[in-house]
């Protein structure tokens, strides 16, 4: 408890509601619009909110509900709208992010993450360096996974709609670690694997967004894939996710050299049923080898 | 300084102007005179150098062009159609013979189409022509596409031109050449409204009408509060949902607030040389829906 009090930072920036006057003197809940300066320039916003971090867009309850509903519909209609899926996650997060942050505070690794706030993107992840790690290490496994799926650790949509900067970081961390979860659970990026991972994340982290995706995502699957999802993957996901350590507390970037099997044993994760990969392992390894040769030939000139 | 998220182009971050506002007194006297010479204007609630506003507005409309009509329907819940119908009906194009009309900032062709339809349906007039002028090529492209679905495509009745409302150019738009000048929901995006009015006066024939449909001030405080809440709460969110672009709609909503109120705008119209009705609602202007939109008219004598 003492540790928790020391580490918790109170970062809410709302002014108390009694300090601003209303047009007709009574305490009503109607926002009074004002133009005030901020780092992003003047904006009309309700008097009691200010942006708490770069990219923060404060929303009142009405706007939050509207955006939650709108983004839910839009995500179903056009699943390629990454910004809408992100918005849905943020507007429906509720108390789940506080719970995750508290979980992080309870573990030494989680506390380190909150203190250092590492980011995962193409700049902070050095693919060539990771490829040089020994076979069986997490770093190597991650690069192999990226190559097998044909994805990069690109920048995910930044968080806009969470008011507390620390909780906004927790949300961002969850979003950026999604690929690590793919890797450690040995799942590719096709639709049924993504849904299996969403069930896993729901059991492990408890974010409402994962539940929404898990409930409505399967509607887009063919009958055969849906039955495979529910008969094989979902039982694995719920059992494994429910019993494993909370993955939000794992400091992945400090475990590159660690053996993957050791990590899985430590966290309590076992492999799902065999999935459908877009590229065979041999091909991915060949690509990795080629890239290693290219970087070696490049480095003398650097 | 543009950020690209997949294929959605965002509004470029405005470089904070290095210009002090007139109430800053810390600058040295030399710097003060230099700064006061650089003119600034409003871009929504931001203050930007005048020469920047045009490109910023162009970026806004490049980004909203493809969904412009959809967003109009969503944000006004379809009411903009009623306003535009009422606007064009009050002008009665074609009643006194074929007209040569110019529709400025008319990109997607809403007003132009209504003018031509009104003349055709009510007065059997197929000689009225409309020149649609817009500073933004993307918006004109959308308008051209829309007109392909009508009977006016490839006829002399409709033409599209890319030009700046503040300086139409005397080669293409000669003096005293048009009977009717319309500008709907466009004038608030222009950098200098007096310049637009001056050009309007120039290209209109004596006896020609200037008509402007624009968002305006609401007198009723209850309606005004509701409208503000809807504008600032709902519209940017609808923009981010349907068009993936919150900032452009934030700009659009703020630019409405920065537009001069009805009496002031009516005076600006008179200053440009037009004759208007008396300076009251129903005279120089006619409010719609309590002042959410307003039609200003003037005649060149």
Q: What is the pLDDT of residues B135-164, one digit of tens each?
A: 999 899 999 999 999 999 999 999 999 999
- Predicted local confidence at residue A39, as pLDDT: 40
Tell me whether residue B76 is in a domain.
Answer: yes
Query: Residue B110 belongs to a domain with what CATH number?
Result: 3.40.50.150
Report chain B residues whose CB lies below 8 A from the CB of A80. Answer: 6
* Residue A90 · residue A158 · CB < 8 Å: no
Tell me whether residue A98 is in a domain.
Answer: yes
Q: Give the span between the Cα atoms of B180 and A129, in whole angstroms.
A: 69
Tell me whether residue B161 is in a domain.
Answer: yes
Dihedral sign computed on CA atoms, order B15, B16, B20, B22:
positive
Q: What is the pLDDT of residues B41-58, one digit of tens each?
A: 888 888 888 888 888 888
Report chain B residues whose CB lies below 8 A from the CB of A30. Answer: 225, 229
> Where are any strands of DSSP class E within B127-247?
129-134, 158-162, 178-184, 204-215
Query: What is the residue range of A211's domain?
Result: 93-291
Counting other chains too, the contacts that A106-113 makes at CB distance below 8 Å and 24 or more residues apart are A106/A4, A106/A249, A107/A246, A107/A249, A109/A249, A109/A250, A109/A251, A109/A254, A110/A248, A110/A249, A110/A251, A111/A3, A111/A7, A112/A251, A112/A254, A113/A173, A113/A249, A113/A251
- Predicted local confidence at residue A65, as pLDDT: 95
* Residue A181 · residue A200 · CB < 8 Å: yes
- Which residues have CB under 8 Å from A282's CB, separation 6+? none
Tell me whether residue B186 is in a domain.
Answer: yes
* Residue A50 · residue A56 · CB < 8 Å: no
Tell me whether residue A85 is in a domain.
Answer: no
ipTM > 0.85, yes or no: no
* Residue B64 · residue B71 · CB < 8 Å: yes
Tell me whether residue A4 is in a domain.
Answer: no
Taking only residues 31 to 70 of chain A, the set having a beta carbon closer than 8 angstroms to any beta carbon of chain B reads: 31, 33, 35, 41-45, 57, 59-60, 62-63, 66-67, 70
pTM: 0.75
- Predicted local confidence at residue B240, as pLDDT: 92
Q: Tell me: is residue A83 an annotated ligand-binding position.
A: no
Tell me whether residue A38 is in a domain.
Answer: no
Report chain A residues whose CB lies below 8 A from the CB of B237. Answer: 59, 63, 66-67, 70
Quote the number of domains for chain B. Answer: 1
- Predicted local confidence at residue B70, as pLDDT: 84
CB contact under 8 A, A44 and B232: yes
For B149, how many CA atoms within 13 A lie in the half-sphere containing its CB?
Answer: 8
Q: Give the span between the Cα atoms of B93 and B97, in whole angstroms.
A: 8
- Distance from the Cα of B203 to chain A's closest Cα (Å) equals 38
- Predicted local confidence at residue A284, as pLDDT: 64
Query: What is the residue range of B216's domain?
Result: 63-221+261-300
Q: What is the pLDDT of residues B82-137, one digit of tens each?
A: 999 999 999 999 999 999 999 999 888 999 999 999 999 999 999 999 999 999 99
* DSSP one-letter code for A259: B
Question: Is residue B180 over pLDDT 90?
Answer: yes
Which among B6, B237, B257 is the nearest to A66, CB-wise?
A: B237
Quote the number of domains for chain A. Answer: 1
The SS3 call for residue A220 is helix
Tell me whether residue A171 is in a domain.
Answer: yes
Question: Is residue A252 over pLDDT 70?
Answer: yes
Question: Is residue B24 over pLDDT 50?
Answer: no
Q: Which two tokens stand for residue B152?
A: 């006016």
Q: What is the mean pLDDT of chain A?
A: 81
* DSSP one-letter code for A274: -
Q: Are strands B204-215 and B285-288 parallel, antiparallel or unpaired?
A: unpaired
């Amino acid at each position: 408890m003492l540790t928790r009090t020391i580490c918790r930072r109170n970062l809410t920036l709302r002014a108390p509601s009694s300090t601003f006057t209303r047009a007709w003197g009574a305490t009503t809940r109607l926002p009074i619009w004002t133009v005030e300066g901020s780092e992003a320039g003047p904006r009309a916003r309700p008097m009691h909110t200010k942006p708490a971090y770069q990219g923060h867009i404060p929303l009142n309850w009405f706007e939050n509900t509207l955006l939650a509903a709108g983004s839910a519909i839009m995500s179903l209609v056009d699943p390629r709208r990454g910004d809408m899926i992100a918005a849905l996650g943020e507007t429906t997060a509720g108390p789940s992010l506080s719970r995750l942050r508290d979980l992080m505070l309870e573990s030494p690794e989680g506390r380190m993450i909150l203190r250092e706030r590492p980011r995962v993107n193409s700049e902070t992840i050095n693919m060539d360096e990771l490829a040089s790690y020994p076979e069986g290490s997490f770093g190597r496994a991650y690069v192999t996974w990226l190559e097998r799926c044909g994805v990069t650790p690109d920048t995910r949509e930044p968080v806009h709609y969470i008011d507390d900067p620390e909780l906004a970081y927790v949300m961002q961390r969850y979003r950026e670690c999604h690929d690590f979860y793919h890797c450690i659970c040995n799942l590719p990026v096709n639709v049924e694997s993504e849904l299996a991972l969403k069930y896993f994340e729901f059991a492990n982290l408890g974010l409402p967004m994962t539940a929404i995706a898990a409930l409505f995502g399967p509607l887009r699957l063919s009958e055969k894939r849906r039955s495979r999802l529910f008969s094989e993957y979902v039982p694995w996901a719920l059992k494994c996710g429910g019993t494993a350590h909370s993955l939000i507390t794992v400091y992945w970037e400090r475990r590159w050299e660690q053996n993957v099997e050791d990590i899985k044993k430590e966290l309590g994760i076992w492999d799902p049923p065999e999935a459908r990969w877009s590229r065979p392992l041999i091909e991915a390894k060949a690509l990795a080898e080629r890239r290693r040769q290219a970087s070696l030939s490049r480095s003398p000139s650097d | 300084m543009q950020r690209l998220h997949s294929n959605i182009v965002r509004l470029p971050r405005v470089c904070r102007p290095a210009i002090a506002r007139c109430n800053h007194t810390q600058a040295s006297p030399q710097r003060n005179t230099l700064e006061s010479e650089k003119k600034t204007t409003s871009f929504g609630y931001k203050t930007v150098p005048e020469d920047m506003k045009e490109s910023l507005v162009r970026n806004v409309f490049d980004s909203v062009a493809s969904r412009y009509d959809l967003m109009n329907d969503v944000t006004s819940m379809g009411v903009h159609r009623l306003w535009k119908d009422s606007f064009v009906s009050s002008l009665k194009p074609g009643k006194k013979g074929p007209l040569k009309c110019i529709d400025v900032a008319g990109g997607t062709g809403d007003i132009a189409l209504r003018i031509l339809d009104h003349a055709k349906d009510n007065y059997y007039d197929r000689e009225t022509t409309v020149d649609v002028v817009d500073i933004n090529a993307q918006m004109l492209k959308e308008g051209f596409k829309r007109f392909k679905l009508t009977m006016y495509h490839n006829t002399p009745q409709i033409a599209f031109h890319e030009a700046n409302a503040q300086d139409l150019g005397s080669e293409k738009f000669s003096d005293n050449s048009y009977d009717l000048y319309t500008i709907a929901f466009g004038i608030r995006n222009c950098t200098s409204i007096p310049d637009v009015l001056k050009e309007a006066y120039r290209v209109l024939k004596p006896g020609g009408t200037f008509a402007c449909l624009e968002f305006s001030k609401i007198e009723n405080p209850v309606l005004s509060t509701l409208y503000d809440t809807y504008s600032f709460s709902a519209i940017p969110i609808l923009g981010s949902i349907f068009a993936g672009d919150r900032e452009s709609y934030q700009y659009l909503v703020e630019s409405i607030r920065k537009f001069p109120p009805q009496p002031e705008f009516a005076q600006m119209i008179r200053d440009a040389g037009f004759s208007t009705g008396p300076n009251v609602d129903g005279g120089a202007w006619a409010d719609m829906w309590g002042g959410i939109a307003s039609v200003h008219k003037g005649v060149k004598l």
